[in-house]
Structure 1
Amino acid sequence: MKRKILVTDIDGTLSHGEIVHPHVIAACDRLRNHGWEIMVATGRILATAIDHIKSIGAWLPAVVYDGARLMEPLSGKVLWEATLPTDVVEEVLHIGWQVPLEMQIFTDESAICRKTDEETRRFLTRANVLVDDTLQTPHVTERVFRIIFYGDPREILRFEEHIGAVLGDVVDVMRSGDDFLDVVPIGVSKGAALSWYLERLPIAPEVVVAAGDHCNDLALFDEAHIRVAPEDAVPQILERAHIIMPSVKKQGFVHLVDYLLSGRWSDGRGSKRVVL
């Protein structure tokens, strides 16, 4: 039997916040019991994604750090990773230092920020992530996989345009939410990490279904046979989706699982749009 793989984003697609709805958990159990495998592709680090991964039984390697790392979910073993060059990190930090946005610098399952980055420190500390909040100058010595800027969506849009114009040839910049901007190594994306994994499988899967809701899921869509978006996804994602499912608030993932188990996905392989 050929493999069937569902790859899903977490925030805004699978769940809101830290709790996966019990109906979604049960649906994922049914999906796995019928031979499907589940994989997570998220902007989160493994430490903040692991509870979601365990809830839905996503035992395939996890795409984390918005694609900068591919990790075994239970052991934490790194299968693939990419870091930002030290000089590029400093350029990004210099450019963003005075921008009215919080800064999150992700190293190996830990983070660096400033004392003033209060929301960052609060969220990561609640998630039991080690946070060094003593950063006083735009300079770090640790390996950096990803830098996030967080805050007012209007400032995010302005900063996205600015940093893209200045450093667009050495970093990839993408929005992972209205108030989040990710800066990752050039060529890094959820889709690139998924492609790396799929290329190393001995036999290509029968079908890869990808579910996501924001711009950082566009590259993930490129690697999927069938693309799925919640009804409240950003326009760029909705335009490319083959399947539109209800929002997280309506446990849209349950509807998606029901559809996949019905077998109707094999009729046309995403050649026509389906609204669940």
Structure 2
Amino acid sequence: MEKHLILFDIDGTLLNDDMRISKKTIDIVSSLQKKGHLFYIASGRLLSSARSYSEMLGKNIGTIAANGSVYTLGNEIVKNRLKDEAVSAIFEACKIYPKLQLRLFSTDTAYGMGGMLQAFMNLASKTKFKKIKSKADLDRLNTFITNGILCANDLSVLAGAKEFLKDAPSLCLSSSNEHNIELIPSGRSKAAALKDVAQKYGIKPQNTIAFGNGENDLPMLIESGHGVAMANSPRHVLEQADVVTKSNNEDGIYAFLSKYFAEDLES
């Protein structure tokens, strides 16, 4: 079989609800790597966090992080900056909606104002944090910001912020759940990174497979030759995927890969 590029979202896809990677998934990835297929993690997490899961999955697993703003090509790290005009608009939104909780990310550190939803804190337990009070604080740190996230318990606050930011320059909005707005440089997404990686390694578009379960996975699922939604995905994700596999708690990744690559695995 021709070489394939296979990408996994992390939360709700690669990880089960106990935050573990199935042994079946690890084993089938190892078997398919030996057949020459290429694997990547594709996550909204910052690089240091996403990379830790690449290492858990196996050796020589690539990483797409920050919703496509950062990705690895062998030993090279490709980074895209969230432009100053976009960051300024984000801080303005926080002034208008003070209940918003902000994190802006470099490849290994989160810079933020306010508290943060516990669900986010659980996901970012290995992340370094630095508190800031204003854009001026961030500017003084002179750091390379790749992406960010706004969170709130009050959905009306998020709706207002999303409306305010929808036309902000150099900024793309997405979401991984109803309580956040993901802040991404214009032109970047998991789908854009998928295309970059596939082109770099000479993999045909029809030989790309992407697994995901969230709104921020949709561009990647649509761009890939085979967009696979987990059964635990929201309805609008299920409706736009090419294939629906079992849930993240039922070895959905293994179920699809073992069937799709059956002949390759037997040879």
Could you tell me the TM-score, scaled by structure 1's length? Answer: 0.82
Q: Which runs of 5+ in 2 are unaligned?
A: none
- Find out whether 1:62 has 2:59 as its counterpart: no
Distance apart, 1:239 and its partner CA: 1.4
Q: Following the alignment from structure 1 to structure 2, what is the Cα–Cα distance between the partners of residues 206 and 3?
A: 11
Report the counterpart of residue 183 of structure 1 in structure 2: 183
Question: Which residue of 77, 81, 96 maps to 2:79?
Answer: 81
Preserved contact between residue 63 and residue 193 of structure 1 (Cα < 8 Å): yes
- Cα deviations across residues 182-220 of structure 1 (Å, max 9, x unaligned)? 111111111111112222334637611111111111221
In structure 2, what residue type is equivalent to 1:136?
A: K
Q: TM-score, normalising length from structure 2?
A: 0.84
Per the alignment, residue 115 of structure 2 pairs with 116
Q: Distance in 2 between matches of 1:248 and 1:19?
A: 10
In the TM superposition, 1:218-233 aligns within 5 A as: 218-233=218-233
The match for 2:134 is 137
- The separation in 2 between residues aligned to 1:185 and 1:101, in whole angstroms, is 20
Q: What residue number does 1:94 align with? A: 92
Deviation at 1:116, TM superposition (A): 3.1
- Structure 1 unaligned runs (5+)? 265-276
Who is 2:194 aligned against?
194
CA distance in 2, matches of 1:9, 1:89: 26
Question: How far, CA to CA, are the matches of 1:41 and 1:122 in structure 2?
Answer: 20
CA contact (8 A) 2:117 2:151 kept: no
- Aligned mates of 2:246, 2:124 — CA distance in 1: 32
SS of the residue 1:250 aligns to = coil
Evaluate the alpha carbon distance shift between residue 24 and residue 244 of structure 1 in structure 2; reply closer, same or farther with a 3 A threshold. Answer: same
CA separation in 2, counterparts of 1:36 and 1:130?
Answer: 33
Q: In the alignment, residue 229 of structure 1 is paired with which amino acid?
A: A
What is the CA distance between 1:125 and its match in structure 2? 6.8
Counterpart-to-counterpart distance in 2, 1:22 and 1:100:
41
Change (3 A) 1:122 1:165: closer
Once the two structures are TM-superposed, the CA of residue 173 in structure 1 deviates from its matched residue by 0.2
Question: Aligned with 2:31: secondary structure?
Answer: helix
Structure 1 segment 35-74 matched on structure 2, within 5 A: 35-57=36-58, 59-72=60-73
C-alpha distance in structure 2 between counterparts of 1:132 and 1:241, whole Å: 38
**Can you list the C-alpha shifts for 1:83-110, whole angstroms capped at 9, x where unaligned?**
1222320221121243423211102321
Contact 2:46-2:106 at 8 Å conserved across structures: no
SS of residue matched to 1:152: coil
Deviates more, 1:182-191 or 1:26-35: 26-35
RMSD: 2.7
CA deviation digits over 1:30-56, x for unaligned, max 9?
333444321111111121122321222
Letter in 1 for 2:82: L
SS at match of 2:229: strand
Instruction: Give the secondary-structure state (helix, strand or coil) at the position aligned to 2:103.
Output: strand
Distance 2:254 2:190 in 1: 23
C-alpha displacement at 1:10, in angstroms?
0.9
| Secondary structure in structure 1 of the residue aligned to 2:193 | helix
Determine if contact 2:69/2:79 at 8 Å carries over to the other structure. Answer: yes
Amino acid at match of 1:137: S
**Residue identity in the other structure for 1:107:** S
Q: How does 1:141-160 map to 2 (within 5 A)?
A: 141=139, 142-152=143-153, 154-155=155-156, 157-159=158-160
